[in-house]
Amino acid sequence: MVNTFGIDRDTLTSANALIPISLYIFLHKNLKLQNSTTSDVNNVRKIRTWLAAALINNVFGGQSDQVLTETLRIIQENHDIKDYPVAQLNEKLKHMNRNTEIDETTINDFLQIKYNSKEAFLALSLLYEFNDWGTTEFQQDHIFPRVSFTPQKMVEMGISSDRQKTFLKRMNCIGNLELLRTKDEHPTKGGELPGKWISSRDPDFKVRHLIPTDESLYSFDRFDDFLKEREKLIRKRLESLFSNIEK
């Protein structure tokens, strides 16, 4: 099941995070995680979102024996509930100073995740509604391409030296990253700036990738403004996602 979440040995930063899920599946022998019913799809989304948050926030890192014991106890106590008990797990973990919920602090930390870090792919995957993680390969992509951030290119585009430093510092932040399908999207993008690239995509591309609709932000000299607006969309997505999985 974890492979269908797009999680592999590189992104699985703690095998202990899988143990509560394994117990949940064991206790629900009639559970059909591959079903396409609305309730089953929502339950799988809950499990995947909770697991990703646990891995990103390193909930099972360090001295986690007690954390594991308590999460297993919660799973056992709620074995009569069909859906994965996200709310109950989160409540217990919060009292143990292990956070799998989204609040201002965790969102700010989320926005600091960098390109190709161990958390980056999982973090980006939370921004999408894709359901083909296990069968489709995705690549992390810079919306404003890295080739535009060379000193020569930035001088040519009239970026002051102070802003160049800021741009370079934020080039790899999650606000400038998206996931593209390796087979049919990533090879065609190359080093195109977002204005040209986005205009060649399907009408839903902006919604799917949380891209601001204001096209004036696609100019390189508006990079910092673009990040501010996209980070607002990311915040809304995370708040909505995590409020829904506890229902």
Q: What DSSP line would sit under the chain, residue for residue?
A: -GGGGT--TTT---GGGHHHHHHHHHH-TT--TT--SHHHHHHHHHHHHHHHHHHHTTTTSSS-HHHHHHHHHHHHHTTT-SS--HHHHHHHHHHTT---S--HHHHHHHHT-BTTSTTHHHHHHTT-----TTTS-EEEEESS-GGGGSHHHHHHTT--HHHHHHHHHHTTBGGGEEEEETTTTHHHHTT--HHHHHHTS-TTHHHHTT--S-GGGGSGGGHHHHHHHHHHHHHHHHHHHHHHTT-
pTM confidence score:
0.88
> What integer is the mean pLDDT of 179-202?
85
Q: For 189-210, what is the mean pLDDT?
A: 90
Assess whether pLDDT exceeds 70 at residue 1: no
**pLDDT score for 135:** 78
> With 70 as the cut, is the pLDDT of residue 35 above it?
no
Instruction: Give residue 247's pLDDT.
Output: 66
**Could you tell me the residue ranges of all domains in the chain?**
2-101, 117-242
